[in-house]
Amino acid sequence: MCGRFALTTPIEVLRQAFGFVGPAPNLPARWNIAPTQSTPVIRRAESGGRELAALRWGLVPYWADSPSIGAKMINARAETVAEKPAFRAAFKARRCLVPADGFYEWPTRGDLASRQPVLFRRRDGGPFAFAGLWERWVPAAGGLIESFAIVSTAANEIMAQYHERVPVVLAPGDYAAWLDPAADARALLKAPPSDWFSAAAFQPMSTTCGMTTPAVSPRRSTSPRRRRSRHASRAPGRPTTVSRACSNARKRRAAP
């Protein structure tokens, strides 16, 4: 699946890769994008071109009573996305590209099982696009929430070493069809090509601390690692490691 991802590529590089037009903000490098956060997607604009827009991760269906349901709708299964009430309308008419340059999986298999996530990045470090769906939700009080989900599918043999499910990563040649409501999109929902990606063990993460290091090799140090405080200052362009004790995580590890 995909429960966290990274987007650190400069905006003009994204513009080149995904061909959107119009205004775009300068994006800060983000190594820990979490559900319910706002993050840019590329979608078809009313003009027909591609635009960049910041949407909330976790699709809130148009019929929802409350936006809280979006927290559960962070992924949509490729196998059923065309039929599920929460996703089918968006799948037909509102597909988007979700730009990223890394995604995390928490290993669940055998010896690798761990609470330490694995970061998958393209071998050339470049950006890629998840297959996304987006939706509009109008609160009773007025206003508008636009949100999205990332399509997931069965992992191929390589990635399945870590996790059974993976996000769909679109081939650049498929971007146009994915964004075209008239195209047959189901054929585009394939597992990411393993040879694009490399996997690296990662620091344990926290939502609140936000920033984490980029790729690191598996940790083997026997001495306790010195951690920076959550308030540590950060040199530009050099993400810091921020971690902290988590009593709940310890409890969960220990509990039956």
Partner DNA sequence: CCAGACGTTGTT
Partner DNA sequence: GTCTGG
Q: Are 205 and 34 in contact (CB under 8 A)?
A: no
Q: Is the torsion defined by CA of 19, 185, 107, 195 positive or negative?
A: negative
191, HSE (Cβ side, Cα atoms, 13 Å): 17
Q: Which is nearer to DNA, 18 or 178 (CB)?
A: 178
- Distance between CA atoms of 28 and 154, rounded to whole angstroms? 31
- Binding-site member from 49, 63, 126, 230 for DNA (CB under 7 A): 63
Q: Examine residue 200 and tell whether it contacts DNA (CB under 7 A).
A: no
Contact status: 186 vs DNA (CB under 7 A): no
Whole-number Å distance between alpha carbons of 40 and 55: 6
Say whether residue 187 binds DNA (CB under 7 A).
no
Q: Of 105, 135, 146, 209, which residue is the catalytic one? A: 105
Q: Which residue has the tokens 């996000």?
A: 167
Binding flag, residue 77, DNA (CB under 7 A): yes
Shortest CB 227 distance to DNA, Å: 13
Question: Segment 210-249, which members bind DNA (CB under 7 A)?
Answer: 246, 248-249
For DNA, the binding residue among 91, 106, 128, 148 (CB under 7 A) is 106
Question: In terms of Cα–Cα distance, which of 218, 171, 195 is closest to 123?
Answer: 195
The residue (of 41 and 166) whose beta carbon lies closer to DNA is 166
The burial of 192, by beta-carbon neighbours within 10 Å (0-12 exposed, 13-18 middle, 19 or more buried), is given as: buried
Provide the annotated active-site residues. Answer: 2, 105
| Site residues (vs DNA, CB under 7 A) | 1, 3-4, 34-37, 58, 61-63, 65, 68, 71-77, 80-81, 84-87, 104, 106, 108, 113, 115, 117, 152, 163-165, 204-208, 246, 248-249, 252, 255-256
